[in-house]
Structure 1
Amino acid sequence: MMPKTDDLILFAQVVELGSFSKAADANGLTNSVVSKRIARLEKELGSTLIHRTTRRLTLSEAGQVLYQRARLVAQTAQEAFDAITGYSQSLQGHIRMSVPTISGELLLAQAVAEFCELHPAISVDMSLENRFVDLVGEGYDLVIRTGHLDDSNLIARHILDSHWTICAAPAYISRRGKPQVPEDLLQHNCLIYSYQESGARDWLFNRYGEIYPLRVSGNFSTNNAAALRRAALAGHGLAYVPRCLVYPDLQSGRLVELLPQQVGKILGIYAVYPYSRQPPRKIKLLIEHIRSRYMDIKHYF
């Protein structure tokens, strides 16, 4: 028997809201009705979808696979209703998003919380991570990412470009000297930002309009930008980081910018979401809100 579309949508809501009772409240149902409909769905599919405990719900492997399809069914159904009723003019529901750690701590945590306050019927779950998440496979509605994403199933909207900088504390420069050309870095302790799997030691430079890498070395590496900044501030070496991370430090003189005309790393910052003819209005408005907050401090980048 073909599962009922309503049951698929209800299943997606149970997963997103994290409990049978919240899904029941959202649909004006009793807990027992929700439980029976999920049990009916499991029986029709011949698979356990949700492992129930007293504290939380956990998806089985089959449940994870079905959820990715069921949420698309729910979204498509909602868009169909929106097109007829004009319901899209109201804003409600849940948004799951992933953002880079630096932007997340610098401005996105506050920007997204502000968006939720402006639209009380919307809730947002924001993860801070630098990896390229599987947007569709992991169930994200929106991702803010740096760097180009080559995936025809995704829409990437450019927000702004992030320029990188090489910097060091005045104490380090007075002790070790100030590099005049990129090759001088080979004689310095270069602190490595190892958030990426490869290329962390290959610093990029611009020479006569062409970008080339220089392999550097150093005695400290970390995948955490805040830790790298602290090591640089303490005078332990040179750091090659997004300018926005250290902008206040450069302005105050706690860090000094080095080789500014020759640093060649520039990464675009993008809002990325799954391809569809008409993304939900709440996603479009959140992107606009986020973009405006980036523009407010674009001089950091």
Structure 2
Amino acid sequence: MSYLESLRVFVRVVELGSITAGGRDMRLSPAVASNRIKDLENRFGVRLLNRTTRRLTTTEIGRAFYDQARRVIETLDEAEAVVGSYSGAPRGVLRLTAPLGLGRRLIAPLIPAFCNEHEGIEIRLRLSDRSVNIVEDGIDLAYFLGEPADSALKWRKIADCPRLLVAAPDYLKRAGTPAEPDDLIQHECLLLRFPRSTEYFWTLETPDGPRKMTVAGRFDADDGDVLTDWALAGHGIANRPSYEVADHITAGRLVEVLPDTRPVAAQFGSLTPHRRLQDPKVRLFADFAARKLKQSF
């Protein structure tokens, strides 16, 4: 492995907070990633990382080295992007992230076709319903449902994503069918929650405009697919994107609740660090995905 590749390993280890995670991101075993870090430390005769059984931190000189190494890598990536724009054949690694359900259903199926068209590009897709730090995690494109808040990132809206309130027929037979939004207070509401989650209320479209409803229930999870599974099993009412539950509604496994006061549609789009916008491989995937994904809503 070259010195430059060792730099890349070091940067990803620092950014992800562990040798195992950094190595995995670089498709290396923890042992190989650790050896790359040791090679750098031996090369300079300094300790770059403090390692304990519980955590990994940079030394003072390690942090300074990380800042410079990251700049070197960013400069080389930008140079590679310039060459790719002239050659017409962009190359390199493209890092994507998306929420679990959206990523599985909408983003992941696009990747093989894109890579078949652009053989020099590698895609690394990371799925999570938890918030991620796009800049610190080195993400090129983050697909997102909701209202983007970070002004340091470029937002590209792709479509409005309808949301539906759904429940299993057995649940509605047992608990009753809500006739108006206030009835939700008496029901088991299945919530997507995790640290810093905002889903402690549902916003419904009413004849008087959007209305925030405080909802509660005994079940919450940080994985949207789990909420859909709970709804299918008859445990309560879920607020889900239409693309996740449309087939269940058609098959009769789920029933839409309060169809005249649906949840406010979520914006669907991508977030990109501004400095990545000129990278041809980022633009290529963003345009490719936008064309395909508009057909899903």
Structure 2 length-normalised TM = 0.77
Query: Secondary structure of the residue that 1:136 maps to in structure 2?
Result: coil
| CA gap 1:209/1:50 in 2 versus in 1, 3 angstroms | same
Q: Which runs of 5+ in 2 are unaligned?
A: 13-21, 28-35
More displaced, 166-175 or 209-218? Answer: 209-218
Q: Is the CA contact 1:68–1:137 (under 8 Å) kept in the aligned structure 2?
A: no
**Alpha carbons of structure 1 residues 116 and 50: separation in structure 2 relative to 1, 3 Å:** farther
Aligned to 1:48: 48
Number of the residue aligned with 1:3 = none
CA distance in 1, matches of 2:50, 2:8: 13
Q: For 2:204 and 2:135, locate their aligned partners in 1 and report how far apart those are by CA, in whole Å.
A: 35
- Counterpart contact for 1:166–1:263, Cα < 8 Å: yes
Deviation of residue 127 (structure 1)? 0.9
Q: How many residues align?
A: 272
- Shifted more, 165-174 versus 194-203: the winner is 194-203
Q: 1:40 to 1:132 in 2, by over 3 A?
A: same
> 1:149 corresponds to which letter in structure 2?
P
Asked if 2 retains the 8 angstrom alpha-carbon contact of 1:172 and 1:236, the reply is yes
SS in 2 for 1:179: coil
Aligned to 2:138: 139
- Work out whether 1:188 is the aligned partner of 2:187: yes
Mapping 1:70-219, distance limit 5 Å: 70-80=69-79, 83=82, 87=86, 89-195=88-194, 197-219=196-218
Aligned to 1:250: 249
User: 1:31 aligns to what?
Assistant: none
Rg larger in 1 or in 2? 1
Residue 168 of structure 1 and its aligned partner are, at CA, apart by: 0.8
2:204–2:212 contact (8 Å) kept in structure 1 = yes
- Rounded to whole Å, the distance in 2 between the matches of 1:201 and 1:84 is 48
Partner SS for 2:105: helix
* 1:246–1:92 CA distance, 2 compared to 1 (3 A): same
Question: Deviations 1:6-29 (Å, cap 9, x if unpaired)?
Answer: 97x55544556959xx9xxxxxxx
Q: Does 1:233 align with 2:232?
A: yes
SS at match of 2:112: helix
Equivalent position SS for 2:202: strand
- Distance in structure 1 (CA, Å) of the matches to 2:57 and 2:42: 16
Maintained 8 Å contact 2:80/2:91 = no
Letter in 2 for 1:281: P
Quote the Cα distance in structure 1 between the aligned partners of 2:69 and 2:205. 48
| 1:190–1:14 Cα change, 3 Å | closer
| In structure 2, C-alpha distance between the alignment counterparts of 1:161 and 1:99, rounded to whole Å | 16
Unaligned 5+ segments in structure 1 are: 1-5, 23-33, 52-57
User: Amino acid of the residue matched to residue 294 of structure 1?
Assistant: L
Q: How many angstroms apart in 1 are the aligned matches of 2:63 and 2:123? A: 20
Of residues 174-183 and 198-207 in structure 1, the stretch that sits farther from structure 2 once superposed is 198-207
Structure 1 residue 209: deviation in Å? 4.4
Q: Conserved in 1, the CA contact under 8 Å of 2:185 and 2:215?
A: yes
Say yes or no: does 1:61 pair with 2:63. no
Shift of 1:115: 1.9
Summarize the Cα distance change of 1:67–1:143 in structure 2 as closer, same or farther, 3 Å threshold.
farther
* Offset of residue 50 of structure 1: 10
Q: Is the 8 A contact 2:50 2:58 kept in 1?
A: no
TM-score by length of 1: 0.76
Look up the equivalent residue of 2:48 and give its one-letter code: T
For 2:89 and 2:50, the matched residues in 1 are separated by: 31
**C-alpha distance in 2 between matches for 1:161 and 1:14:** 38
Indicate the percent of aligned positions where both proteins have the same amino acid.
29
Q: Aligned AA for 1:235?
A: G
Report how far residue 240 of structure 1 moved. Answer: 1.5
Aligned to 2:281: 282
Q: Distance in 1 between matches of 2:95 and 2:66?
A: 14
CA contact (8 A) 1:202 1:213 kept: yes
Q: CA RMSD in A?
A: 3.4
